[in-house]
Structures are given as C-alpha cells and as structure tokens.
C-alpha cells in the first residue's frame, strides 16, 4: 500500500510532514537568536572580581585574596598597593603597616581595583558597612604593673579575637573574642 506516493516501510522524512517543517524553522530561528546573544556577550569586556578574606585585616595578619570572576582565567597579576605582587589565583599577603591600600587584579585582559583598610595590630575593625573599631588592654592581677595591649586577629566581618602577648607571651592564644550580634546593614 502506498502512503501519499511512498512505498510501505519507507520512513517518512522530517521534512515530509508540515508540522516538522515549522518545528525545524522555529528551532533554527531560536538558535540564531542564542548565537546573536552569545556573540554580543563575547564582544563585551570580561568581568573581573575578587574578595579579601578576612575583609578587615590588621597589620601583620596574613590574608587570602581570591579571584571570584564569573569566567575562568589562566593568568593573574595582583598588585597589593605596598610594592608587593603575586601571580596566582588565590595569593596570601600580609601588610606590615596600617593604612589604606589599593589592591589591583589583572585577569582576562581586564583590571579591577578594590581598597582595603589595614588597621593597627591592636585594633579590630568590625562591620565594613558601618565600621567601628575595638581595642582592648589587660592587666595581670598578679603583677599590677604588667599592662598589655590586645593583639587583634580579624576572622570575619563580625568576629575576631585578641591575645595579650605582653602577659601570656603567646600571641597565637585567643584570650578575648569579639562578635557583633544582631548586626544589620546600614544604608
């Protein structure tokens, strides 16, 4: 038996059915629209972003910088604003002195900059959005004249700790923790 002039058993071509022709045309149009959008995006400069951890470091505290760009990169050039530089995706860096530094990352042919404030080692800066500084000192009750300024270590934007190396002789031992509770973002 013949089906519209085709012998029995012969598969029908996709183009033989009117609905399939429309489907092929709409897929082609959709694919062209996606290709046009991709080409427009490909012509735009890549977005380069990075984060600093912890966000509020103190002088002498090692920090880690991370490339958080949406597209992968194969080379990085970091400039830390103090004469130091690095070429890895997530370098560690320590600023020796307090101050404001401009960190620059060049990746994918694009450079982006971010300012970081390094506080003195005796000060914790909490909350970047509405910053306040915390300092602390301690006195050894057994030796009334032994006063020690706290040595701060920033952990997160809302948490850090102090040690008292002038009393304990151990700067790595956290003696007092500082945590911001119920903090809200200020606008």
Give the domain-ending residue among 118, 142, 160.
Answer: 118
Kindly report, residue by residue over 11-25, the tens digit of the pLDDT: 555 555 555 444 333
Per the confidence metrics, is the pTM higher than 0.85?
A: no
Which residue did the predictor score with more confidence, 138 or 94? 94
Q: Which residues of 147-162 are buried (b: 16+ CB within 10 A; e: fewer)?
A: ebbbbbbbbebbebbb
* Same domain for 169 and 139: yes
Kindly report, residue by residue over 150-186, the tens digit of the pLDDT: 999 998 888 898 998 888 888 888 888 888 876 565 5
User: Domain tally for the chain?
Assistant: 3
Position 5 in a domain:
no
Domain range for 112: 50-118
* Same domain for 55 and 20: no
* Same domain for 132 and 114: no
Q: Which two tokens stand for residue 183?
A: 């903090």
Question: Which pLDDT score, from 0 to 100, does residue 25 have?
Answer: 33
Position 8 in a domain:
no
Q: Which string of DSSP letters, residue by residue, matches 55-90?
A: SSPBTT--EEEEE--SS--S--EEE-SSS-EE-SSS
Per-residue pLDDT at 105 exceeds 90:
yes
- Mean residue pLDDT across the chain: 79
């Amino acid at each position: 038996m013949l089906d519209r002039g085709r012998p029995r058993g012969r598969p029908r071509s996709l183009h033989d059915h009117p609905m399939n022709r429309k489907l092929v045309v709409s897929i082609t149009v959709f694919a062209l629209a996606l290709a046009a959008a991709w080409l427009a995006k490909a012509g735009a400069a890549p977005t380069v972003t990075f984060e600093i951890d912890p966000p509020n470091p103190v002088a002498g505290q090692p920090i880690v910088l991370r490339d958080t760009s949406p597209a992968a990169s194969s080379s990085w050039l970091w400039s830390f604003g103090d004469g130091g530089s690095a070429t890895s995706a997530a370098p560690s860096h320590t600023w020796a002195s307090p101050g404001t530094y401009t960190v620059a990352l060049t990746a994918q042919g694009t450079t982006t900059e971010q300012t970081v404030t390094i506080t003195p080692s005796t000060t914790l800066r909490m909350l970047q959005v509405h910053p306040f500084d915390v300092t602390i000192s301690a006195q050894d009750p057994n030796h009334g004249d032994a006063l020690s300024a706290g040595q701060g270590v920033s952990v997160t934007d809302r948490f850090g700790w102090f040690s008292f190396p002038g009393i304990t002789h151990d700067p790595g031992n956290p003696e007092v923790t500082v945590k911001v509770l119920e903090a809200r973002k200020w606008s």
